[in-house]
Amino acid sequence: MTWSTADIPDLTGRRALVTGATSGIGYETALELLRHGADVIVAARNPEKAAQAAERLTQQGGRAPTVLELDLADLASVQRAAEDVLTKYDRLDLLINNAGVMAPPYRQTVDGFELQLGTNHLGHFALTGRLVPLLLKGSRVVTVSSFMHKSVRGISQDDLRRPADSYRKWEAYSRSKLANLLFMLELDRRARAAGAELLSVGAHPGYASTHLQAAGPELAGRARQAQLWGAATRMVAQPAAAGAWPSLYAATYADLRPGSFVGPGFFEYRGTPKVVLPTRTAQDPELAQRLWAWSVEATGVDPVLTVPR
C-alpha cells in the first residue's frame, strides 16, 4: 500500500485535540492536521513550551492552534482540561491520545500511581471518559501505543501502584503500552455494543527519533546518557515526521475498520503505515474488561457510552 500525507483529506471544519503536541510525534501530527485545515487543540503540561510550540505550528502550518493546559499525571488537571473543552465546544471530531513518558526513574503521579501507567494509560482513560459527551457524534479516538507492548504478557491491578523496590522501567513502559491497546479495543467493543458513532483505533510509530528516548535519563540526572541515547536514536531511527504517519493514517483514513491498529509497514519499524496486529494479550477481552474496571476505580471516571437521542 502506498500512502503519504498528501492523501489526508481536507479537514476544514474538523476539530482535533492532540495530547503531547509540543514536540516529536505529537507536534508532527498536529502540524499535518493544521496544514489540512483542521482546528487543532494542542494539549500540553508545560504552558511555556505549549506557547512556543503553538507559535512554531502557526508559522509552519499556516493556522494557529488553540492551547490547552493538561497534565496527564494529575487527575485534577485532566478534569479541569476536559471541563474547559466541554464548556467551549459542542463537537470534537478527533481525539489523539499521544502523550507519554518512556522509561523514567521511579516516580509517582500526583495521585500516587506509577508514573508511566498513570500518565500513559490512566490519564488518557480519564480524559477520554470525561470527553465522551463530545465523542458520540461520529468522532474518532486514536490511542498511540508501541511495539514494546509485545514484550509483556499481562498486567495486574497491582501494577498501577507498583512500589519502587519492584519497579523495572522498561517493563513498566511496555505494560503502559499494552494498557493503551487494551483500552483502545475495549472502547471499540463498548462503542459498537452501544451503537455509538465513535471509532476507536490505535497506532504506533515504530522507531522514531524524538526526545522521548532521552527524557528518562534526563529525569535521572544522567546528562551524558541522555546525549548518547539522543545521538544513537538520530542515527538509526526514522524522523519524527515519519513516526507520525501511523497516527495520521489512523486519524484520517476513511475506510479504517473499528479497532484497527496501525504501524509502519517495514517490519513495524519504519516506513509507510499499514494495519498491523496487536498481541493475543492485547486482544484479550476479559483482561481488557478488568483493566477498564481498575481504571474506573483508580480515576473515578466511568465512561458511559450512551447514544444521544
Catalytic hit among 23, 106, 146, 173: 173
Angle between helices 24-35 and 245-252 (to 10 degrees): 40
Cell triple for 263: 504501524
Q: Is-catalytic flag, 145?
A: yes
Catalytic residue (one of 27, 146, 177, 249): 177
C-alpha cell at 197: 458513532
Q: Quick check: is 177 catalytic?
A: yes
CA–CA gap between residue 257 and residue 141 (Å, rounded) = 13
Best CA proximity match to 121, nearest among 288, 275, 256: 288
Distance CA 227, CA 257 (A): 40
Does the annotation count 151 as an active-site position? no
How many CA atoms within 13 Å lie on the side-chain side of 284? 14
CB-neighbour burial class of residue 211 (10 A; exposed 0-12, middle 13-18, buried 19+): middle
Catalytic residue, from 23, 77, 139, 145: name it: 145
Catalytic residues: 145, 173, 177
